[in-house]
Amino acid sequence: MAGQIKMTAAVSRQPNPAGGAHSTAGAAYHKATSMQPSPSLAQRWRGSRNLLPALLFLGLFFFAPLIGLLLRGVLEPVPGLGNYEQLFANSAYSRVLLNTFSVAGLVTLFSLLLGFPLAWVITLVPRGWGRWILNIVLLSMWTSLLARTYSWLVLLQASGVINKALMGMGVIDQPLEMVHNLTGVVIGMSYIMIPFIVLPLQATMQAIDPMVLQAGSICGASPWSNFFRVFLPLCRPGLFSGGLMVFVMSLGYYVTPALLGGAQNMMLPEFIVQQVQSFLNWGLASAAAALLVLITLVLFYFYLKLQPESPVGASNAR
């Protein structure tokens, strides 16, 4: 028995030629592959080369004008930050900024309040009816912006249909002032911005699995609880994207505020046009435009930060 154990141990200590050959070949292969460039690095380089046209386009048509805008804002009429100081120190200019942000916030709020139920109806009704409703919503986008704004000017004026209808029903005794003020601007812009809320919201609602809502009902959730604790959180991506789009577009809108608001209720885009066309003050206009671009970039960054699937949100989650 002891002899058998010794023989077994001796055999186990003998080198295995096949195993040695395999290990030697593996080492040689590993050495050879380590000296070769990684395929992933090569693919990344090819991918970065494909990005060069896009980067060139952005550099020529976005970054170069933006740099010129920033330089004009700090160099004209005299070098310094005087233009930016005027925007915040002058009470008239501060009023323009306040009008811009208040109108953009109200338009975003009313567009969400009106667009959410409309997107929900499009999702709930049969597909044929939903397609018709969606086409009607899109039809307003295909109509001329100037024509839509002028139609609201006709509807909201003192002798317009809305005031006549309210006076005929006895709701008001005299016409309401709804044009040449911020009220008309908010009404007209909310109507124009509703499609930009409906489209992302309807796509988000369409992607929600009905079984999730059914599971909430089976677990004992009331309809209100199911809506606020299940359905509404699932709609958050559409709410964020649509709300951000409307807010940013409202900050830079020109035609509707110019026609419905008037000179006494000026917003930042009208202010920029006035500084360029009437006063030839390119420095102050550039500073105001740069402020708009900066606000847009900051809002877009926070939007990416709140979206977990974006690179910024994913890095924060990690």
Average pLDDT, the chain: 81
Which range of residues forms the domain containing residue 190? 91-317
Q: What is the CATH number of the domain that holds 143?
A: 1.10.3720.10
* 111 to 30, 91, 175: CA distances (angstroms): 61, 30, 25
Residue 225 lies in a domain: yes
Residue 161 lies in a domain: yes
Give the number of C-alpha atoms closer than 13 A to the C-alpha of residue 152, restricted to the C-beta side. 27
Residue 217 lies in a domain: yes
Per-residue pLDDT tens over the stretch 184-230: 999 999 999 999 999 999 999 999 888 888 888 888 888 888 888 88
Higher local confidence (pLDDT), 20 or 267: 267
Residue 60 lies in a domain: no
Residue 54 lies in a domain: no
Rounded to whole angstroms, how far apart are CA atoms 87 and 81?
10
pLDDT at 204: 92
pLDDT at 4: 46
Higher local confidence (pLDDT), 118 or 264: 118
Residue 209 lies in a domain: yes
Residue 46 lies in a domain: no
Is it the case that residue 22 has pLDDT exceeding 80?
Answer: no
Residue 75 lies in a domain: no
pLDDT at 39: 52
Give the chain's domain count.
Answer: 1
Percentage with pLDDT > 90 across the chain: 25
